[in-house]
Structure formats: C-alpha cells, structure tokens
Amino acid sequence: MTSAPRNRQLIQLELTGTDVIKVDPWLEPFSAGLKARYAAYSKTLAQIEKYEGGLAHFAEGYKSMGFQVDAEQGVRYREWAPNAVEASLIGEFNGWSHAANPMTKSEYGVWECYVPPKSPGVCAIPHDSMVKVSMKLPSGVTIDRIPTWIRRVTQDLNISPIYDGRFWNPGPESLYTFKNGHSKRSVDGLKIYEAHVGISSPNMRVTTYKEFEVDVLPRIQKLGYNCIQMMAIMEHAYYASFGYQVTNFFAVSSRYGTPEELKSLIDKAHELGMTVLLDVVHSHACKNVLDGINMFDGTDHLYFHEGSRGRHELWDSRLFNYGHHEVLRFLLSNLRFYMDVYMFDGFRFDGVTSMMYHHHGIGTGFSGGYHEYFGESVDLEAMVYLMLANLQIIDLLQANSMLHDIYPNVVTIAEDVSGMPTLCRPVAEGGVGFDYRLSMAIPDMWIKMLKEQSDDEWDMGKIVHTLTNRRHLERSVAYAESHDQALVGDKTLAFWLMDKEMYDFMSDLSPLTPIIDRGIALHKMIRFAQLLVHTLGGEAYLNFEGNEFGHPEWMDFPREGNGNSFAHARRQFNLVDDHLLRYKYLHAFDAAMNNLEEKYRWLQAPQAYVSLKHEGDKVIAFERDGLLFVFNFHPTNSFADYRVGVDIPGKYKVILATDDKEFGGHGRVEHSVDFFTTPMEWNNRKNWLQVYIPSRTALVLGPAQ
C-alpha cells in the first residue's frame, strides 16, 4: 500500500465493521451480519496483502498480463487458462503458425511466451495486426480465442459479426500524451451528463470519439454540467445492447474510433473542467465464446460460476465468480486500467443489485425491511469485491483504499434498486464504500403520474416523500429520466407530455397549443424539481443527453426488427440549434438551472426544510442554503400574495422563474420586485413573505444584493 501499512494493520485489527450502527441504530439487530461481511472482506484483503504485495499492486494486473512491450520492443504475452494442456500465440505476424510461438504454463495455470524484437527497436508483431491464443484442451480439441486482456478489437460486418483481436502498439509519434491530469473537482455537487458517443449527432450513423470531443463537449460545458458519464465504452459485440453485454473488458469500443482518440476526448473534457466517469459493467458478461471471455479455456467456470449460478436468466449472460482470486485480479485491474491508461475519474457501476443478491433482484420486491439485506440471499463474495473496489480513507493513518486512496477524488456510483443500507458509507465503518447511489424510484414516480393521473390529481405529499425518501448520510444521484426511459417501448418525459403534437407544433411559427404549453411548462418544472431533489435531500443530478431540450421520440438502435435503421439511434442537436423551434427554450432553462446551482452550490449545502405541501393549491415550498423554492403545480390557478414561510429575514428577489419568456413561458413573473419578510411564524418558519406564483411555475428567491 501507499502509506503506513504497519499502522494500518494495527488499526485494522480494531475494526469490526459495525461503526455504521452509530449512524443508523436500526442496524443493531443485524450487527452479526455486518461483522460477517467485514470479516470476509478483511480475510480477502489480508490474503491479497500477504501474497500480492498489497491491493494497489494486485490491481495492476494489466501491467503484467496480456501483451507487454519492453524497451527493446520485445513482447511478453501472459494468459490465465488452467484447463489448457498446450498453448501458443498465433497471428498475422507468424502466419497463424501454432508452432512458431509456443507458451509455457506456470503452476498457477498462467501461460507465457516471449516474442523477441524483429531487429533492434523493431517489434516483431506489427501494430494493429490480428492475434489470437490457441489452446489444446485435455480432450485433444484445439480452440482459438481472443486474449482476455486484449486492448483493441475490431469488427468487419461485411465479413463476419465476430470481432478480431488486434495488437495495439502505436509508435511514440502516434501514442496520445495527456496534457491534463485527473479531474481536481470534488466528488460533491455533481451535475452529470449521461452520454453515449455513438448516438451523439443528428447523423444516421455511429458518431466518433473525435466528433464527440469537438461537437458535444462544448455543448455539455455550456449547459453547466461538470461531469460526463460515458456509456457503452467497454467493447460489446451487439450495438443494440447499449453497451451492457461486454465481450472485451480492456478494449474500448472501436465503433467510435481508436484508443488514442478516446484519450484525446477525455483529456479535452478535463481541460474544460469536467469529471469523466465510465459506465462500468462488472455485474455480468456477454456469453459470446469466439469474441468474449466465456468458455475461454474450454470450461464454463474460468471467470464465472459454473452451472446455473453462473448464468443470468433474464439478461442471458454470464455471472462472475467474485470469490476467485484471479477474477478479483481481473476486475480490480480493469478499474485501475481505465483510471491509469485512459484517465477516467471514476465509475458508475451497472447492475449492483444483481451483484449483491443470489436472486439478482429477479422476482423480488424490496419492502425496506433490514432482514432483506443481511440474510442468506446476500452474495457475500460479491459484497467483498465491491468493498475492495470502493474502500475509502477514514483517517490519515489508514490507507485502506484501492480506488479512493490511489485517486483521492475518484467517484463511484451504484445502480441499486434494493435500497441496501450502508451502500454509501465508508468500508471502515462497515459500509460498501460507494460515493453515491442512483435514486431510481424518482423517474418511475413521474412516469407513473403522467401515465395514470391528470395534473389536478397529483399528490404533493407523495412527490415530496419520494424525493426525500432516502437514507440519511448516504449520498444519492437524482434524475427525472435516464437512458432507461428513452429506450424503445417507453417514452421520454417530453413525449409523455406532448407526444404527436411535437411533430407539428414545436415551431414558434405555429400556434402554442394547450398541450405544447402544458408540456413545456411541466417539463421545466419536473426537471427543475429533480435538480431540487438535491435541495430536498440528494447531492447530485443526472440527465441523459438530449433530454435537456425535450428530445422527441425514443431510442432504438439498429437491429433486425427495425431494418437496421439509425433513424432513432441519434440525438438531434439540430433541433435545439434551429432558433425557430421551441426546443431552444427547454435547452436555455437547463443551462440556467445548472449554472445557477454552480453559483449558489445548494447541492453541497445542508439538507433542505420543506415548509409547505398544499394539496388543494398544489404548492410546494422549501428552503436550502438561504434560497427559497416555490412550486405551483396547479394546472389553472395562479396565486397573488401567496404567503410562504422563510427562516432567514430580509429582502428577497426572484433569481429564476420557469415562466420567463426566454424559457418558453408567459413572462408573468416580475424580476424587479423586492419581497420583504415579516417577523411572524408561518408554517414553522420564523418569518413569512408573499409572492405571486403563476400556475405551472416554479420560482427561486434569493437574498437581494
């Protein structure tokens, strides 16, 4: 480890994993479960430190496994495949000869060979040439596989859908050199732009890394987002899987360009002041054999559990054996690889619910009862893996982190629908160690309301409860909609609100119909409410690209069922660039909302106080960090001199109003008016003031300068 290992071991002995009970006393009856989880983690960590020289070194497997090029341009290739009885490196460089480069096997099942330079300083394996490993099994059958640690694979659909492994070794003149280091931004107050490179242009084709860097990054910065979450980067054989059927874990998708072009994109994002997260898929793997890691050495249990435990019945994919030493090396090194080689700043872990439970969340409804999180259904080995990946520092003496210690500003986010307690508490306390969890119930609430209720039936208490129903002292990422709501079979918020009228009445030259008027108003309020979910208790906000301007229609990748069409696998930024269209109003509001938060930093302020949830008036009011937020969801009623409680006395001004004309509103709010408090208790606040709050409008009031 990097600091004070002796002190660390002494402190470690005193930890039992139950300090989290001090934060949540309701965990006391489950202290035995917490202790068992922490003991399993401690045992695994001790083994890694004893036999591997520490967790940090253990997670540098990418520096010793796969292809390693030395200073003389010789190539050493190492691969774990214990079931094989013979192995050889084959490729274009040796005419696919099985005899030219035989490999030797260690006692731990690791095969190795060395390919000397062709001449001094000249690599014998040409850059970007095709390579494979060939193995003979105990049965006598010979199999050829793409190396598991391969860093580049390509696909030529004109020849075959099967990917080819390639030896990536660009010369010094072609190797990208980073100009900027990792993001220096704190993990607090993230405004996340969830993006998929391939769909990031109006063109009916796959967008490139370079196009994203030049055309999309400036848009994201202008909108006020300080973090990008990049989807579908890890190579996946099927484009329509949205990146969630990973075949090659160390290879970035070649659909969008080269590894060096991705490095340039990330470097540019850092130059623009943004944190860059990778949507990492360690919850499962594609079951492909010829271009994946399934059945790599002829067995079904190399990286995965054998039999039914190693298969996800709904995802039709393979499930990792997190209890195996070499699987831990592979996965932890995968995280370190993306941090070191590509300079990612952290990860959004996909499918964490599936990882944490033997039932994978299938057919399980979580009630919130603590017995659901500490029983036999919990996969202890997977929990240990997540703890190892997420460990955090509790003091200067205890350097007990793989990610958080090596990279102090690393960000980790868990996609979990179960509500696992302690998920976002430090490992040393007995937690799992994530920085954030996704508040996945929130978008479901909005969609359900839009599907089943008219505006005047919306329950203000339910809205507030859903927005604030979160675990105390565990950070969350809130969002109105993500990529899930944009996929074919569902609708975006904009489409639920305006549907087919978006095709005919989104031009300023067309009449402002009641449906479009309602849709624009509520789209801003819902998204604004979601950013203010953090005001009500969350600490970060997420948006899926294009939804900020009410992108019409759905997402549908090219597939056989749609004639391999790209018509819906693109984000039509041309719509917001056309100043005759009303999309520009929603886009302008999103930028104003994000940039206002950047000025006042309410995401990083203490939790808000909700003073009003009026069902009849459909009004919600709350305060955070000296700002007053007032929402009027009523479809028809506007209120003059509406009395709202506020704790801090003084003079207030409107600093943002969703009804402003620049945001497609009616301009019914006068920004020049001063609002003075009266020192009398109202709704449990020390003072009150009166505001004009039009229908379907949200206001933010701040102290007048």
Catalytic residue list: 350, 415
CB contact at 8 A, 79 and 66:
yes
| Distance between CA atoms of residues 138 and 626, nearest Å | 71
| Distance between CA atoms of residues 506 and 500, nearest Å | 10
| Distance between CA atoms of residues 42 and 324, nearest Å | 15
Residue 295: how many other CB atoms lie within 10 Å: 20
Burial class (CB in 10 A: 0-12, 13-18, 19+), 334: buried
Output the six-digit token pair for 298.
């002829």
User: What crossing angle do the helices spanning 325-340 and 380-390 adopt, rounded to 10°?
Assistant: 30
DSSP notation for 313-340: TTTTEE-B-TTSHHHHHHHHHHHHHHHH
| Distance between CA atoms of residues 180 and 272, nearest Å | 10
Q: Is residue 547 left, alpha or beta, with left meaning phi > 0 and alpha meaning psi from -120 to 50?
A: alpha
With tokens 């004309």, the residue in question is 661
Residue closest to 678 by CA, chosen among 639, 652, 698: 652
Residues 6+ away with beta carbon under 8 Å from 249: 148, 234, 235, 285, 293, 330, 334
Burial class (CB in 10 A: 0-12, 13-18, 19+), 674: exposed
CB contact at 8 A, 639 and 687:
no
